[in-house]
């Protein structure tokens, strides 16, 4: 099955004193076998998990799907130590590289085709920077049942102590009271990071999620550019709760224990090799994702990559289809 995916993203920025605004508008066109599948036809009619209606299909046929949407759109006011921002924005919380259990506004599956394309939250953000290293943030987002998104309100405090960044948060995400913390620290010339979230859903048993990892760049005469290495573990106390309310607003998995690893190396200043993998230690399935990226010119970048899954039916990755893709990014 072959499918061609295209996206034109137009961005606009404006700064005027304490005020700033940003808009990113997408046109997306898919053509090929994937569009014709019943699963895609059904999924394409499900609204994005956002409060605001800001996308629409222009053409939807048996093998062609063309839509436009607002990817980001916000207005901000910033002066001295205060920041206020309202609109569709990215609320980037957490320190994990593969899993961010404390990010309840934009949870992202590490096996996603485009992991860097994250649905924004239609929300209001307030931030008070009470010191050079510390800040207090509050975020509020309206819910909309037809779009499978809940009302969310959360308060987060972050600060730096020596070489360690620490954050704590508390909030109400739909019907769940959540409490969490994350840290990132320099340890043995590498980076140690971890996140912990505890949730107490209404009328259901509480659960916890945890991620912990370490990253290091190995550099020697054989690897003069430095080989980036990452190891990360994810514990999911909410495993198998995919059908319950709020499932799209938290990290989900079929098993409780997942182990991830990643590596990256710049073969030349223009060519980079990357590899990531996730192992389901409970049921024995595995996900691997090799990638090569070539910077053709200052504004052109070509990538070739694969998302490969292997395992028995019912395991974490056993029911997923392999994907092989080439991607061309042009910036203008």
Q: What element of type H or E holds 199?
A: strand 190-201
Output the pLDDT for position 276: 97
Please, which residues bridge with residue 278 across strands? 260, 287
C-beta pairs of 183-186 under 8 Å, 24+ apart in sequence:
183/95, 184/95
Q: Can you tell me the distance from the alpha carbon of 108 to that of 93, in angstroms, rounded to the nearest whole number?
A: 12
Q: Which helix (H) or strand (E) holds 34?
A: helix 33-36
Rounded Cα gap, residues 57 and 46, in angstroms: 11
What does pTM read for this prediction? 0.91
Q: Please say whether the beta carbons of 288 and 275 come within 8 A.
A: yes
Residue 67 · residue 31 · CB < 8 Å: no
Predicted pLDDT of residue 203? 85
* Nearest-angstrom CA–CA distance, 122 and 86: 8
How far apart CA 204 and CA 322 sit, in angstroms, is: 35
Instruction: Determine the pLDDT at residue 30.
Output: 94
Q: Which two tokens stand for residue 106?
A: 């934009």
Cα–Cα distance measured from residue 6 to residue 113, given in angstroms and rounded to the nearest whole number: 13
Decide: 101 and 250 in contact? Cβ < 8 Å.
yes
Long-range contacts of 109-117 (CB under 8 A, 24+ apart): 109/251, 109/252, 110/260, 110/276, 110/278, 111/278, 111/287, 111/289, 111/307, 111/309, 111/317, 111/320, 113/307, 113/323, 113/325
Q: Tell me which residues of the chain have a pLDDT lower than 70.
A: 241-248
Question: For residue 81, which of 16, 137, 161 has the smallest C-alpha distance?
Answer: 137
The tokens for 60 are 């939807």
Number of neighbouring beta carbons within 10 Å of residue 234: 25
CB 155 within 8 A of CB 142: no
Helical (H) or strand (E) element with 176: strand 176-187
Closest CA to 98 of 205, 217, 235, 202: 235
């Amino acid at each position: 099955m072959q499918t061609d995916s295209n996206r034109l993203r137009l961005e606009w920025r404006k700064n005027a004193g304490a005020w700033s605004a940003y808009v990113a508008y997408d046109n997306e066109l898919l053509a090929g076998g994937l569009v014709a599948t019943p699963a895609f036809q059904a999924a394409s009619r499900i609204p994005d998990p956002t409060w605001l209606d800001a996308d629409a299909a222009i053409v939807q046929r048996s093998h062609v799907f063309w839509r436009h949407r607002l990817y980001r759109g916000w207005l901000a006011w910033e002066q001295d130590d205060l920041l206020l921002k309202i609109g569709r924005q990215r609320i980037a919380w957490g320190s994990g590289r593969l899993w961010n259990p404390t990010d309840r506004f934009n949870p992202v599956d590490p096996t996603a085709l485009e992991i860097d394309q994250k649905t924004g939250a239609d929300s209001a953000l307030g931030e008070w920077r009470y010191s050079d290293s510390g800040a207090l943030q509050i975020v509020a987002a309206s819910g909309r049942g037809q779009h499978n998104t809940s009302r969310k309100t959360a308060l987060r405090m972050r600060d730096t102590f020596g070489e360690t960044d620490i954050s704590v948060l508390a909030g109400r995400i739909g019907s769940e009271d959540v409490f969490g913390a994350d840290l990132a620290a320099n340890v043995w010339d590498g980076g140690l990071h971890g996140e912990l979230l505890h949730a107490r859903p209404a009328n259901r048993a509480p659960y916890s999620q945890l991620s912990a990892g370490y990253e290091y760049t190995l550099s020697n005469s054989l690897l003069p550019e430095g080989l980036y290495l990452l190891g990360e573990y994810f514990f999911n106390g909410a495993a198998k709760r995919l059908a319950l309310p709020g499932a799209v607003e938290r990290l989900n998995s079929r098993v409780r224990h997942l182990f991830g690893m990643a590596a990256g190396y710049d073969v030349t200043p223009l060519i980079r090799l990357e590899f990531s993998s996730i192992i389901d230690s409970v049921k024995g399935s595995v996900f691997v994702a090799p990638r090569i990226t070539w910077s053709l010119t200052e504004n052109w970048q070509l990538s070739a990559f694969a998302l490969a899954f292997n395992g028995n039916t019912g395991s974490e990755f056993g029911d997923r289809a392999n994907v092989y893709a080439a991607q061309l990014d042009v910036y203008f």
